[in-house]
Amino acid sequence: MELDGDHEDGADGSGVKDSSLHVVTPGEVITNDTAFMRGHGTYIENEKVVSSVAGVVDRVNKLISVRPLHTRYTGEIGDVVVGRITEVAQKRWKVDVSARQDAILMLSSINLPGGVQRRKQESDELQMRSFFMEGDLVVAEVQAFFGDGAYSLHTRSLKYGKLRNGSFISVPPALVQRCKSHFHSLACGVDVILGLNGYIWVSAHVPQNLDEIDTELVYSNKNKDITPRDRESIARVGNCIRALADEFIFINDTIISFAYE
Amino acid sequence: MPSLISPAERDYILKGIECNIRADGRQRPDYREVILETGVISQTSGSSRVRLAGGTDVLVSVKADIGPVLVDPETGEGADKGQIICNVECAPSASQQFEGRGADELNNELTQMMTRFLSHNTTTLSTPSSTTSSSTAASNNNGAGGINLSKLCIIPGEQCWILYVDALVLDYGGNLVDAVFMGTRAAIFDTRIPKTEVQDLGDGNFDFEVLDDAEDTEVVEGREDMPICVTLNKIGARHIVDASPLEELCTEAKLVVAVNRSGELCGLQKGQDGGIEPSLLLEMIQFGKTLGQTLIKQLDAKIKAEAEADMIKRQNGQPVVKLGFFAQ
């Protein structure tokens, strides 16, 4: 497998090559110094600190850990993720976000049609499927963690919610960096939503005027009419993203536009 | 994960297929790129690995073993023929839906499909699901999917070569059937069976010896006539080939057309719950036949080119390096 320095998900998120990158494979000795504390991805064997995963060594003062290359999505509060509803439960939905557990979207965390400030009623709980059904794609933000580590999502903004008019692509979560905005509008008339969990939504551009959004229609499943030209652009952007993912290159809007040209 | 799809995506895919622009930009009859390599496992008589650009990864191996002849108790046939025994298995790591026992039904279906299209057994075995119906027209293809089973017999009535064809699905990216059959054809092409020397001991007893010469081996006779499959997925009012996982979720009806290089229909299987109108059925079969023939030509060209390149390397004394089944 090719391991190049581009996997370093640096704290500045710019993907700058760090010349002191130490890439290790499972079973490789990281250091002989036992003064270090062991973090995730390491174990001690014969008084040596050995790596248990394939990844980059992360050293913070006296703590040594290994950050794996291929791992499930681990998120922070405030992350924008794209997820697929897997289950409709009591007052909540279970959402697959490619993490170790399904995330939870509470009924109280979504915008109900009829106004942002509408009170939740009994009838809403009984018709949860009219909002989100199993299989629907949603874009949401991580609000909090549950005690067992599952994420709690919310869509309490008009830019979050159900996804339509496009197609879905899945890439390794490590390739999507954190940026200021995850909703990009490319020059070719295509909107891209880069979920930090590796789920990406490419869709036709819908001019959105936040004042005029009809809150009744946010949960509709109807796509708008998409021209063949738009379809071609969407397909092309999708293939660019897949190609970038195959080469294990970071994905952000500039590199997608670059690949598109 | 692949087993769920949203109504909006389904609608997008449906409309896209109608205007001939699929989700990844392909047209309806377009195949994805195929990467094929033969001879990847050295301990087998023949092997191949097929990868479709989209994730589907299939490893096929053929092992030639000696065993007793299988005689059909009803017809008395089989005493002078070898056997082909197929098995398909989907690795649980290939897809989330294959975890645990999830792949059992698919394994069963693929194995029975392979057995029907390739081996001498022309009777339809018990159908795996109530919605699948199948038929075999192997009679005009020399039985056994083109392969000459009589040549595989060593001592008539006693010993014969048995070809164990095993396919392992390593990754799922849609269109498993086509990949499995492409891989099987390539693996059979790559198969080399050792020569045997039969000695007549007199009074009806025979003994045979397997010649251990690695260079002096035989190819499987009739391998050029082996069929491959083209899977046609009916979505809406149109049909596509080589479906991606999301497209497979939108399929109403699936038609697998097995065709050989002469354009003869070697097998047909319909899957899933939807219906196909009779006129569309004929159109799809014809389409599958023409596409299958083109595919066979391209596949053969690839296999030949690879074999020739290997031969040149061997003659020059260079080591033949195979990427093997660990290659990304």
Q: Would you call A84 an interface residue with chain B, using a CB distance cutoff of 8 Å?
A: yes
Q: Is the pLDDT reported for residue A2 higher than 50?
A: no
Question: Taking residues B20-33, what's their average pLDDT?
Answer: 88
Q: Which residues of A touch B24 (CB under 8 A)?
A: 235, 238-239, 242
Is B140 contained in some domain?
no
Whether residue B15 and residue A236 make contact (CB cut-off 8 A), yes or no, is no
Q: Which residues of B touch A135 (CB under 8 A)?
A: 4-7
CATH of the domain at B312: 3.30.230.70
Is B129 contained in some domain?
no
Q: Would you call A79 an interface residue with chain B, using a CB distance cutoff of 8 Å?
A: no
Q: How close, in Å, is residue B129 to chain A by CA atoms? A: 25
Q: How far apart are the first and last CA of chain A?
A: 29
Is B8 contained in some domain?
no
Whether residue B6 and residue A135 make contact (CB cut-off 8 A), yes or no, is yes
Is B306 contained in some domain?
yes
Question: Which residues, at least 6 apart from B312, have a Cβ–Cβ distance to it below 8 Å?
Answer: none
Q: Which residue has the higher pLDDT, A12 or A141?
A: A141
Q: Residue A258's pLDDT band (boundaries 50, 70, 90)? A: confident
Question: pLDDT tens digit string along A31-85?
Answer: 887 788 888 888 888 888 888 998 888 888 888 888 888 888 888 898 899 999 9
- Which chain A residue lies closest to B10 (C-alpha atoms)? A167
Q: Cα B327 vs. chain centroid, distance in angstroms? A: 22
Question: Taking residues A93-104, what's their average pLDDT?
Answer: 90
Whether residue A223 and residue B22 make contact (CB cut-off 8 A), yes or no, is no
- Domain with B281 in it: 18-73+80-123+145-316
B37 vs B58: CA distance, rounded Å? 11
Whether residue B24 and residue A235 make contact (CB cut-off 8 A), yes or no, is yes
Whether residue B13 and residue A134 make contact (CB cut-off 8 A), yes or no, is no
Count: domains in chain B = 1
Nearest to B91 by CA among B14, B196, B167: B167
Q: How close, in Å, is residue A133 to chain B by CA atoms? A: 8
Q: Is the separation of the CB atoms in A184 and A222 below 8 Å?
A: no
Q: Is the pLDDT reported for residue B122 higher than 50?
A: no
A97 vs A151: CA distance, rounded Å? 9
A239 vs A259: CA distance, rounded Å? 10
In SS3 terms, A162-185 reads as: ECCCEEEEECCHHHECCCCCCEEE
Whether residue B23 and residue A226 make contact (CB cut-off 8 A), yes or no, is no
Is B9 contained in some domain?
no
Q: Which residues of A touch B27 (CB under 8 A)?
A: none
Is B133 contained in some domain?
no
Q: Is the pTM of this model over 0.90?
A: no
Give the ipTM: 0.81
Q: Is the separation of the CB atoms in B90 and B111 below 8 Å?
A: no
Question: Taking residues B290-313, what's their average pLDDT?
Answer: 87
Instruction: Select from A162, A221, A232 the Cβ nearest to the Cβ of B25.
Output: A232
Q: In chain B, what percentage of residues exceed pLDDT 90?
A: 18
Q: How close, in Å, is residue B4 to chain A by CA atoms? A: 5
Is B166 contained in some domain?
yes
B313 vs B172: CA distance, rounded Å? 34
Largest CA distance in chain A: 66
All structural domains of chain A: 24-68 (2.40.50.100), 79-260 (2.40.50.140)
Question: Which residues, at least 6 apart from A59, have a Cβ–Cβ distance to it below 8 Å?
Answer: A36
- Which chain B residue lies closest to A97 (C-alpha atoms)? B1
Cβ–Cβ contacts within 10 Å for residue B21, how many? 22
Is B328 contained in some domain?
no
Q: Which residues of B touch A87 (CB under 8 A)?
A: none
Whether residue A135 and residue B5 make contact (CB cut-off 8 A), yes or no, is yes
